[in-house]
Structure 1
């Protein structure tokens, strides 16, 4: 965790001239390793031996994930006499001082998906606390190791992309200098002037890694810094679909089933595997809808542009790190509905109110975002049947009984109403519904058959937004 106490961060990327006005934010993994090594050599040379520090830096050589706070890029221009000033000619050179402007309380977080020994963890903690600056020497900072830190909704996530992965429109990227593995300490300690003398733009044993930059889930103006105290539990993970043309939302159940399968595979040996499979520690099915809801979030074009996992009881952060590392592609079966492969990337995790704000209200009136699939066999009075099932589902989730339940016209698209490899749901057709409550309630509201796979998802009715809050 790094906080720039003057609210400014100065750092020119490797391979860039200062007058390009570029700012290396987030700081590259190469810069971080050099900063930690320099801190050890200049400030703590007697506290840790070389083997401990070298093994620590080798463990941190894999590309980390960054959580970048809101910031603005700016620069100042400086003019000074050039080499001709002794001739009496009026001539100047110009240099740019580019920097990022951040709130003085804003925190830049770096997370490595690696395991450290007790001695390595102790060394990293002390080195972080002793770090005087990051980037140029006037980028004064305070740093610490905080395993319980959580990003705010204003943080954007920068994560390394896969080699050969196509970058879709709308996703920003930045190239960061990363070390090859195993870490070459001779190159890590080389001075930039020596690299230039060797007619190289970048040090040997390094590579540029493309990082995908997700947008914050809420605007910086509406986000507040977390209060002191326990961090909010991780109850929601949100993924962006990276395919140029996202799958149709009508295949929501297909996509969420694949997301669940990928999550369970990624957590094969993790203690929380059973939670993501909907079971308790004894292997029994969780009661009260506390197990994960795998959701497909529709965009304005009827596409599943995003996916989410909502875990009401919360999950461990190391499980999130595994999912981010392992769950990058969702694979389908031949001749099954939906695309053969769907590429996704974790764009945020944290509290449900931050990550699914479009589906949490509060609101009095809620409408179907995906169709409600009633349980049981259809009755002759369709409206009565749907209302009865809605009331029953709400009571099961300890939500208020609605004032009215109205059927909405069915859209022309037909949704898949069964999971891949399972029998079709024959009992009752899907329904599109408007539900109105006596008082505003908080979401998410997900009801009916296959609600844990994205059907029956409701959202606040935008037509009633003037009296929802």
Structure 2
């Protein structure tokens, strides 16, 4: 992803947002994508020797490599790392070269700018460039003398691998849900996607030229061709021509906004642009770590039966993890709590202390309406911000959207204290505070290695190995439950089953049929060695505290147990 690092040696960024008068005192912060691409094109004609006619800028055509570069950059909205600035202005009485009552008339003009000192602005496009395109972009950046008005002296370069780039803090609203308090939306002018512009221009010109068709079987006259050319003249042939249009041309054809442009909204910190002298900064209070956060899920229609089925705990957890990863990337770039990896992408060693994402059915209707995000190492401020910032997630393999809201946050003891039906099922999944000696499968246990009849890879030894990896070293009796046997208890589902043992097989079968239909293979991760789920009962010598998650996919809802009273 190419990143431009831009400094302003004069410490000032002078510009007025598109569509505003200079005397309105508005500051375009961040610089719009439209302005950046126009500046790069201007550098090519002025400094790289591209052939062009200054009198007919729209007729100019950059070299093929430059055209490819500009269209790639135009196809995405960049993200910004904008420093905190202070808005300032000066007032000038500009002469109008008109004498009135013996004195020259003047007009009051405001010159507004952003005062940013020696701070650096970073602009990142999420595109892949070829080596030649990257070299050209670097050459254009080095020749960028100013950005905005000519007073905004600029010193730009294309970031190299060894350069430390600040993290983005200003991103398009369509890539980020409402981040909450402390953020605001700001409109900027950007380039339409090339495909969208071509489709729009074809539709408009076809409609305009439809009445100017020659009679059937006749060639168009010269006058008709002139009319057709005149009718299509206000609509540039492509996006490059739109970017090269000057103000006189736009006004002459009645454009209030350049063709090929669109207004988009960006999220930026609400205190990033101050209108006066900067005041004293309040020390940011760091949120204390919490053990778990409970999220509630709802459909757009509010229909609970349209929520994901309990058998889809694994794909639903994966989708939530992907949403959290996207939030983390925008907030801090990396979080070992959420990803389970260090800054180099290596998995964390030791016990499973990073986040578990556990979809739950707490109302017993066989649909997932809650997600528990639990991390034994604690959810730090970054992880909490990511969880709070997720407002939507997908469902059913990416079809449809779910609304997400924070229901509770705190220690597991706080969640054990929930009352009512939700609290009963939550307490069964977490187990009592002092722990429980017996635990029963709530979701299928998937062996992390190929199972053998005996030895370290037998099912029982793999369970013991999983317990050791989670710091549980006491002896355990492992019972593999056979749903077809009348001597085995019915497997309690996420909805809870109040029946005890001794139930006939034909009564137990329907419940087990749902249990065996759980999705057991990750969509974006390694497949299990054996695609087979087991129902287990674990009996410990001493009480063990929950939650208890074991085996393949245990961080995404599989291998979850509940206390068996």
Partner of 2:35: helix, strand, or coil? Answer: helix
| Residue from 58, 81, 86 that aligns with 1:72 | 86
Q: Which has the larger radius of gyration?
A: 2
Q: Which residue of 2 aligns with 1:434?
A: none
| Residue from 8, 15, 36 that aligns with 2:12 | 8
| Residue from 171, 189, 192 that aligns with 1:177 | 189
User: Does residue 428 of structure 1 match 2:433?
Assistant: yes
Q: Is the 8 A contact 1:156 1:214 kept in 2?
A: no
- Which is worse superposed, 207-216 or 73-82? 207-216
Partner of 2:171: helix, strand, or coil? Answer: strand
For 2:270 and 2:547, the matched residues in 1 are separated by 33
Residues 34 and 449 of structure 1, relative CA distance in 2, 3 Å threshold? same
For each residue in 1:11-55, what CA deviation from the matched residue of structure 2 results, as whole angstroms up to 9, or x when unmatched?
A: 111111111111111111010001111111111126997111111
Q: How does 1:103-252 map to 2 (within 5 A)?
A: 103-104=117-118, 106-148=119-161, 149-150=163-164, 157-162=169-174, 171-182=183-194, 184-214=239-269, 251=294
Q: Which residue of 1 aligns with 2:49?
A: 45
For each residue in 1:90-138, what CA deviation from the matched residue of structure 2 results, as whole angstroms up to 9, or x when unmatched?
A: 753100101000022x010101111111111111111111211111111
Q: How does 1:4-403 map to 2 (within 5 A)?
A: 4-45=8-49, 50-61=63-74, 62-82=76-96, 84-88=98-102, 91-104=105-118, 106-148=119-161, 149-150=163-164, 157-162=169-174, 171-182=183-194, 184-214=239-269, 251=294, 259-262=320-323, 278=340, 286-288=348-350, 293=355, 329-331=392-394, 340-342=402-404, 370-372=410-412
Partner of 1:76: helix, strand, or coil? Answer: strand
Partner of 1:209: helix, strand, or coil? Answer: strand
For 1:204 and 1:131, the matched residues in 2 are separated by 25
For 2:172 and 2:419, the matched residues in 1 are separated by 37
Partner of 1:177: helix, strand, or coil? Answer: strand
Partner of 1:140: helix, strand, or coil? Answer: coil
For 1:309 and 1:130, the matched residues in 2 are separated by 50
Q: TM-score, normalised by structure 1?
A: 0.54
For 1:371 and 1:144, the matched residues in 2 are separated by 48
The alignment's C-alpha RMSD in Å is 5.3
State the shift of 1:201 in Å: 1.4
Q: TM-score, normalised by structure 2?
A: 0.45
For 1:68 and 1:4, the matched residues in 2 are separated by 13
State the shift of 1:86 in Å: 4.0
For 1:450 and 1:176, the matched residues in 2 are separated by 50
Give 4+ residue runs of structure 1 displaced > 6 Å after superposition: 46-49, 163-169, 219-223, 253-256, 264-267, 274-277, 307-312, 409-412, 414-420, 450-453
Partner of 2:70: helix, strand, or coil? Answer: helix
